[in-house]
Amino acid sequence: MTFKERLESGKFVVVAELQPPKGIDLSEVHEHAERWRGRVDAVNIPDLQNAIMRLGSLSVCALLKGKGIEVIYNLSCSNRNRLALQSELLNVSALGLKNLLLLQGDHPSIGDHFEAQPVLDLDVIGLLGAAKRLQEGYDLMGNDLKGKPVFFVGTQVNAAAKGHILDLEVMDMEKKIRQGVDFFFTGSIYEPGLLETFVKKVAHFKVPIIVSITLLKSVGMARYINKHVEGASIPDSVIDLLLKASDKQKTCIEIAGDFIRAAKPLCQGVQIIPLGWENLVPALLDQVGL
């Protein structure tokens, strides 16, 4: 069953994020993907995440697909104009890829090429509109396409938002759904309570929500996230567990496992973001029975 078929039939999906390398040595990518084979429904391949220059999502997706591994191709607005974005979507389709995660993308000034000029042609609403238009058989200027691509389109939502920011996110979700979104990935959440509030607020949309969890490796990392990531609030109880941990990897799996067990009834899937601890993903899935 494909990622799309599982989501559409209401089954819980498991996704894991796999960062392309800075360079062309794909040995670790293949190693992790093989380790996850049969355990995850799709591998999500970021595109210039955090505005760090690295190998793109497209080549990694194409290579993994060739090995029979289902992938989610990522495309963000920050580095391409509307010609390049549409052409890239056609490239994706020509290579037989269907799952998309379309994102606003990170501003170059936060990355490792901070002198670069951002491309501010389309926003993510515009990019979603482009994917919709291409599937209808036209480009953004209304020109006919020879052969229509077919996509399964996702985008991101900030489910950890609070107050009026949450109201804005809901408004934004509605616009994105109008632009043809089939599923949403949340940003990383660490509190099931926040997810529950969010899920109740957007239940009427009836669009699958896949919750993201980043593996917490240390107290320093948790505190950094709390300080610098908007909306992130890792509970003190979790930070205490990390403080007392004698085996950091074991504790990391326990924390993520507790969250996934609490989140599972609330959403349609989970995305694990391992950030270097890719080898822990199977053990985590064992622990939560997925």
- The residue ranges that bind another protein (CB under 8 A) are 78, 82, 104, 107, 109-110, 118, 120-126, 129, 140, 156, 158, 161, 164-165, 168-169, 171-172, 174-175, 178-179, 187, 230-231
Nearer to another protein, 55 or 202 (CB): 202
DSSP symbols for 101-160: EEE----GGGSS-TTSPPP-S--HHHHHHHHHHHHTTB-TT-PBPSS----EEEEEE-TT
Cβ-based nearer residue to another protein, 84 or 95: 84
Picking from 128, 200, 210, 193, the residue whose alpha carbon sits closest to that of residue 170 is: 200
Of 181 and 255, which CB lies nearer to another protein in the complex structure?
Answer: 181
Of 2 and 87, the one with the shorter C-beta distance to another protein is 87
Question: How far apart are CB 270 and another protein at their closest, in Å?
Answer: 20
**Smallest distance, Å, CB 186 to another protein?**
11
> In the complex with another protein, which residue's Cβ is closer, 77 or 260?
77
Least separation in angstroms between CB 211 and another protein: 16
Shortest distance in whole angstroms from residue 124 CB to another protein: 8
Cβ closer to another protein: 170 or 239?
170
Cα separation, 241 vs 233, in Å, equals 15
Give the relative orientation of helices 27-36 and 281-288 as an angle to the nearest 10 degrees: 10
Tell me how far, at minimum, the Cβ of 183 lies from another protein, in Å.
17
Taking the complex as a whole, the smallest distance from the CB of residue 121 to another protein amounts, in Å, to 6
Token representation of residue 160 = 């950890």
